[in-house]
A and B are shown apart, each in its own frame.
Chain A
Amino acid sequence: MALSLSNPARRRLRTLGFLSPWLVGFSVFFAYPLIATVYFSFMHYNQIKEPTFVGLRNWTYVFDQMPLFWPALRNTLWLVVIMVAVRVVFGLSLGLLITKIKTGAGFFRTAFYIPYLAPPVAATVAFVFLLNPGSGPVNEILGSMGISGPNWFNDPDTAKPSLVLLSLWGIGDLMVIFMAALLDVPKEQYEAAELDGAGPWAKFRYVTWPSITPIVMFAVVTGVVQTMQYYTQALVAGKVASGVNIGPGSVIQPGYPDHSTLTVPQLVYQMGFQNFNTGAACVLSLVLFAIAMAVTMLLMRKRSGLLAAED
């Protein structure tokens, strides 16, 4: 077939051949649904009758009338800011600690890393048990020290912080990334700084920090994008902590307690698959999309260095 083709044409065909799985995947499982989401955001569609055009009605409904939209967006943004900040600081501290350990480094690395591997559902169920106010081991231990523990996942004020705690348990990936970055800092620079009489803080500020900023930046951006889609832990924590005898698929008041753990992705699920309000669900999807894209644009900038090796 390629007999009569010129060399560049054949090369182009070859490139297309190697890329073809992704080209198909990108068009069918990314570009098409994205366009369809925009289309459905202007439609009234209950997944039974034919969709009808309603203009901006879904959009105004979501922003002006949907009772849970603003709480869900607020929760999502709260998690994006607090959880990402706390995770980066804690992950960096753990990375610094692990590079200072001389004896048993392998044991400690494994110990800090292993919770990251626990499946999110299992980790969440375990944490709801550990932190349950009545008979959970954590409050039991706090009680034996004379402290009356908080209600954790059962109190709107502490439910989100409890989720942050859960996310810190799974900090292993960030620790490894920071550890690798810290080990890459040229040792001569520390020696030079020491000769200049720099203390630990000055060494961190003027040697470590400038060299790891790209990684910190990377951790922040990927953390923001991950937290934008925060779903499983929030949903499972709310369901299990509410203690209602419910199975998957059942409709419950989302975001227990008091919508404090309701996130935008949960609202997408609720609108699309429980209320069958396809239009509103697509509007919510696009809100997520807009925020995720804005963050991705940040990532593309030169300083994060994601594409640097190419040029």
Chain B
Amino acid sequence: MTSTTLSAPASASTPERTSPNRGPAAARARRKRILHWIAVHSVAIAVALLFLLPFVFVFLTSVMSDSQAMSGDLWPDSWHWSNYKAVFETPGFLDWWRNSLMYAGLGTLFTVCSAIPVAYALAKFRFRGRRTAMLLVISTMMLPPQVIVIPMYLVWAQQFHLSGTLWPLIIPMAFGDAYSIFLLRQFLLTIPKEYIESAKVDGCGEFRTMVKIVVPMAKPGIAAIALFQFFYCWNDYFGPQIYAAQNPGAWTLSYGLESFKSAHAVNWNMTMAATLLVMAPVIIVFFFAQKAFVEGVTLTGVKG
């Protein structure tokens, strides 16, 4: 873990090269620097401990015996790895995995495919109403999902009879997700016009230019929106609660986890094992794709 870095830029200040220590002033400056180093790193270690301890406690509890998990002990007497096996054997748990993967996988695919042309047009075409379109995209992005959920639910349930499935959540993603469009557009703005113009000089149509020139150059941006959408779907609780609640066969991991806790009301060890299993994919994906992820986070806030 120590070798991983979260983002490319090096930290703000590098130790300046000083002339060989001579005289009391230099010694004082050096002592001050060392004290500063110690102070900053002690604070950082303390904060890092606070951030990581929850994971440690959750893990330690997940391998305790049933009775010890209720006792308030911090360290397991004996290591019950079979808790994890038992979690996987819980009825429904594997279905929740499959549903989560389907929701997140298809949702991500649809989002990426629909966001690319829209973001491209908003970033590179000049047309009347472009600014208005951007304002509308941002407004949608800012809208709490609860504002429109009731009519949407009524349509999906009463006209299409799709309640009890995840399709009402997946299908809309084929029609552009505002957040992904916004983020990708911000990224596409950084691609110089010259590339697009020279492709056109070479006789490329707008669509081919997008597919052959822009998409390859926008890979980091596309990776970022794909990751965000994957995590959004994986973590989503409200959506599956609205559409899948009445059909346990359609529950996702995020939604099922809470029912898991209810079914194992006293078994904190099993619950913590399941909790770690829900967290694991996200954290594993992060370690493989952290650069794209951090770039995306930065893009939302800084470039614009």
A residues with a Cβ closer than 8 A to B are 11-12, 14-15, 17-19, 21-22, 24-26, 28-30, 32-34, 36-37, 40, 47, 94, 97-115, 117-123, 125-127, 129-130, 134-137, 139-141, 169, 173, 176-177, 179-184, 187, 215, 218-219, 225, 228-229, 231-232, 235-236, 239-240, 243-249, 264-265, 268-269, 272-273, 278, 281-282, 284-286, 288-289, 292-293, 295-296, 299-300, 305-310
Contact = CB atoms under 8 A, between A and B. Distances in A.
Contacts of A108: 44, 48
A178 B143 CA distance: 24
Contact of A135 (B70, B114, B139, B276): B70
Interface residues of B, number: 112
A27 B295 CA distance: 31
B142 A296 contact: yes
14 contacts: A14-B206, A18-B118, A21-B117, A22-B114, A33-B148, A36-B154, A97-B40, A102-B14, A181-B301, A218-B301, A272-B153, A285-B150, A306-B138, A310-B134
Interface in B252-304: 253-259, 261-263, 265, 268, 271-272, 275-276, 278-279, 282-283, 286, 290, 294, 297-298, 300-304
Dominant secondary structure of chain B at its interface with chain A: helix
Contacts of B130: 310
Interface stretch (B17-25, B82-90, B171-179): B171-179
A47 B154 contact: yes
A18 B146 contact: no
A140 B125 CA distance: 61
B206 A21 contact: no
B146 A119 contact: no
B262 A246 contact: yes
A295 B146 contact: no
A115 B265 CA distance: 25
Contact of B120 (A18, A106, A176, A282): A18
Interface string B1-37: 1111111011111110000000000000000000001
A140 B60 CA distance: 15
A26 B261 contact: no
Contact of B278 (A122, A139, A141, A308): A122
A12 B127 contact: yes
B262 A245 contact: yes
A180 B298 contact: yes
